[in-house]
Amino acid sequence: MGWSFPWASAFHSDFNFDFHVSHTNEEWQSGAVDYNFHRVDFRAPAGEEHSYDEHAALTGTNWDTYRREGPGMSAFALVEGVVYHTYSTYERGVDILWGAYQWLDRAPLGRNETGMWWRHHDAYDVEG
């Protein structure tokens, strides 16, 4: 259709911190942080592993580092030099942007989320 519109990235900026999807180490260690318009503490209880340590390890880090950057998406409009914040979504609201999730959600068991719910294609048990 010949449509075009500018995309922008928050990379190398304070934007993610301003919109509370990224948190500094100091914020993280203080306990509850602002995320998705409420206060939440993502830290594991003292002396316990977090249930998502395995998930974080797949990206080469630990849960504290992994979760300091939460999923979020925002949209803005620039009208006559004024920037308007038109939309934001966080957590599961971002799922629609990740194409594979839309297919999984329509499968008979959905994402079948218990424990680590996805594996690489060559890591499934095969019965012969």
pTM of the model: 0.59
Per-residue pLDDT tens over the stretch 28-71:
888 788 888 888 887 766 766 666 777 788 888 887 777 778 88
Percentage helix, strand, coil for the chain under 3-state DSSP, each rounded to 5: 25, 20, 55
What CA dihedral angle connects 93, 122, 65 and 76, to 10 degrees? -30
- The domain locations on the chain are 14-70, 72-116
Residues contacting residue 12 through CB under 8 Å, at least 6 positions apart: none
The identity of residue 119, as a single letter, is: R
How many residues appear in the chain? 128
pLDDT for 124: 57
